[in-house]
Structure 1
Amino acid sequence: MSAETWHSALHHLQAGAAPHVLISVVGAEGSTPREPGAKMVVTADACHDTLGGGHFEYQAIACAREMLTASTRGEQATTPRLEAFPLGGRSGQCCGGHVSLLFECFAGAEKHIAIFGAGHVAQALVPLLAPLPWRVHWFDSRDDAFAALAPSSRVDCHRLDENAIAMALAGLPHDVHALVMTHDHAQDRRLVDVLLSHSGVASIGLIGSQSKWASFQRPLREAGHDATALSRVRCPIGVPGAGGKRPYEIALAIAAELLTLAPTEAHAPQRGVMPATWRHVTGQDVCL
């Protein structure tokens, strides 16, 4: 249990786009450990603040971590969730009160971008992405590639071992958008080969010309990738018609294209906690 307050933890976790769950006491009846408005923040390996301790709190933490685990699998676990805790029956606590908790899961980054290569275009692109609620996983095989870069809480820099590319990709989150733009065409081709075989990759972009991509396709077909797989690769990357060959111009076109890759959210008539669920948990009607 961390000594950090929930609001302090919430601030730095939000700033770093790190996965977490905010738990709030929204209803209390009888003898209960905490009052409505009490909150705690739960991550995969830490808890900040308290709802009063005891078995009830351990159950709440377990519920929060179930939501976090589901979100890492790509499941929709970010819908707010109400849970009722009759302290005598569900939690085995002698105080015998009743607590209603609201769980709000923040999956962390709204989108994960894996950038392979730290050349001029990537160095122009990453500052454009850093203010967004995304997380950037940046790789380069050169020892000094990141030496002069300012640190950012939403950018993770990694040295890429050319002999262990598959291992590096195994650590990427589900539905990552990959951009291949290294200093070496042969390395670019190896990366595309491995990325095409990675089930968790949402999209693949390759920097370069149509002729570069044409030269890649034969060895990739020989490696076992069919036409359907190859059609997943966008080359050149960037919104069509953007033009411009300066690194910053290319970076702007790539950033704009990444914005178009976000899945369109299907808006149901009712989202979040359903009125029927609220009435069941709290015994109160929803104010209209």
Structure 2
Amino acid sequence: MTPAAPDTWHAALDRLQRSAVPHVLATQVTSAGSTPREPGARMVITRDSIFDTLGGGTFEWQTISAARDYLQQQRYGFHLEAFSLGGRSGQCCGGFVNILLEVFAGVDAHVAIFGAGHVGREIVNLSAPLPWQRLWFDSRPNIFSDQDQQQPRTSFHKLDDARIQVADLPPNSHVLVLTHSHDEDYALIAALIERDDIASIGLIGSDSKWASFKGRLKRAGYAADTIERVRCPIGRIHDAKLHNKTPYAIALTAVTELLWLADTPPGPDTRGLAPQALQRLLDESSATSS
């Protein structure tokens, strides 16, 4: 485990939110009896680092473990953890604390872009201000320039094995396939449609290219409903054909399409604490002050 970094929790929170790293803000919201710290104490937790402290001890490590479990399970939103400092925590303080865990995804969506040609580069440039984590792939050596390397929330990857690299994509990724090679495009599409947890699959190309790919996929034994998960061409609005074929125009429609596809409303557990958990907090706060 990485030792606690010298950053304060608020400095770490600012940096992690700007860099789109998944993280948890843990806040001590109520306490009763003897506790290591008072309500308002905070720490920030990532998958491999911790920043600041709630006072140490077993209950803090249990808080860290719970936070990382929520990150692993992608259970974003608000969660309440209760600790009796002598029971669950094994500590001798004898007090009681409630810890609020705010689990942040870091990004609104993961977008994988296969291809660093003209359209791929315009897609990355246009989507730079959006809260997306971009994974950018290309098989050609030295294709990513120094300027490319400055793109925010973007990781760069050498495409060398489509099946393995598709298997490593985060669940619920949105994927655009637009390499310089039809063979690479086909290998990627064949690998992508085998994953049922990919949020969307887009392929650049003409109707004739897609007809050819569909025929090959059917002959390879893929089911029709699996094949139809692929959008081709990308960025088609209401089945209208785009007459402006410049890379910028194609990228603009592709990013617009992704905005709709990635605009998933939050689940019910991301909008706040459950009423029962909130009532428990209010009851305990009232009991402590009386």
Q: Take 1:193 and 1:173, find their aligned partners in 2: how far apart are those partners?
A: 17
SS at 1:44's partner residue?
Answer: coil
**Residue in 2 aligned with 1:109?**
107
Q: Alpha carbons of 1:79 and 1:36: their partners in 2 closer, same or farther (altered >3 Å)?
A: same
**Does structure 1 conserve the Cα–Cα contact (< 8 Å) formed by 2:26 and 2:44?**
yes
Matching of residue 84 in structure 1 with residue 82 in structure 2: yes
Matching of residue 170 in structure 1 with residue 170 in structure 2: no
The alpha-carbon deviation at position 108 of structure 1 amounts to: 2.1
Partner residue of 1:144 out of 138, 142, 145? 142
Partner residue of 1:15 out of 15, 18, 37? 18
Q: Take 1:219 and 1:269, find their aligned partners in 2: how far apart are those partners?
A: 43
**Does structure 2 conserve the Cα–Cα contact (< 8 Å) formed by 1:278 and 1:284?**
no
Partner residue of 1:210 out of 199, 207, 211? 207
- 1:197-217 deviations in Å (ceiling 9; x for gaps): 123312110101111111111
Q: Which amino acid aligns with 1:121?
A: V
**Does structure 2 conserve the Cα–Cα contact (< 8 Å) formed by 1:42 and 1:48?**
yes
- 1:259-283 deviations in Å (ceiling 9; x for gaps): 1113643776994212321222452
Alignment map for 1:208-247 (pairs within 5 Å): 208-240=205-237, 241=240, 243-247=243-247
Partner residue of 1:31 out of 31, 34, 43? 34
> In the comparison of the two structures, how many residue pairs are matched?
279
Q: Take 2:205 and 2:68, find their aligned partners in 1: how far apart are those partners?
A: 42
**Does structure 1 conserve the Cα–Cα contact (< 8 Å) formed by 2:16 and 2:22?**
yes
Alignment map for 1:122-137 (pairs within 5 Å): 122-137=120-135
**Residue in 2 aligned with 1:260?**
260
Q: Which amino acid aligns with 2:164?
A: M
The alpha-carbon deviation at position 284 of structure 1 amounts to: 5.0
Structure 2: any 5+ residue segments left out of the alignment? none
Q: Take 1:160 and 1:122, find their aligned partners in 2: how far apart are those partners?
A: 14
Identical columns (%): 49
Structure 1: any 5+ residue segments left out of the alignment? 72-76
Q: Take 1:273 and 1:248, find their aligned partners in 2: how far apart are those partners?
A: 43
**Residue in 2 aligned with 1:280?**
280
- 1:23-47 deviations in Å (ceiling 9; x for gaps): 0111122211111111111111111
**Does structure 2 conserve the Cα–Cα contact (< 8 Å) formed by 1:84 and 1:281?**
no
Q: Take 1:101 and 1:199, find their aligned partners in 2: how far apart are those partners?
A: 36
**Does structure 1 conserve the Cα–Cα contact (< 8 Å) formed by 2:22 and 2:104?**
yes
The alpha-carbon deviation at position 155 of structure 1 amounts to: 0.6
The alpha-carbon deviation at position 221 of structure 1 amounts to: 1.2
Give the root-mean-square deviation of aligned CA atoms: 2.0
Alignment map for 1:171-190 (pairs within 5 Å): 171-190=168-187
Q: Take 1:273 and 1:266, find their aligned partners in 2: how far apart are those partners?
A: 14
**Residue in 2 aligned with 1:74?**
none
Normalising by structure 2, we get a TM-score of: 0.90
Q: More deviation in 82-91 or 268-277? A: 268-277
**Residue in 2 aligned with 1:199?**
196
Normalising by structure 1, we get a TM-score of: 0.91
Q: Which amino acid aligns with 1:170?
A: A
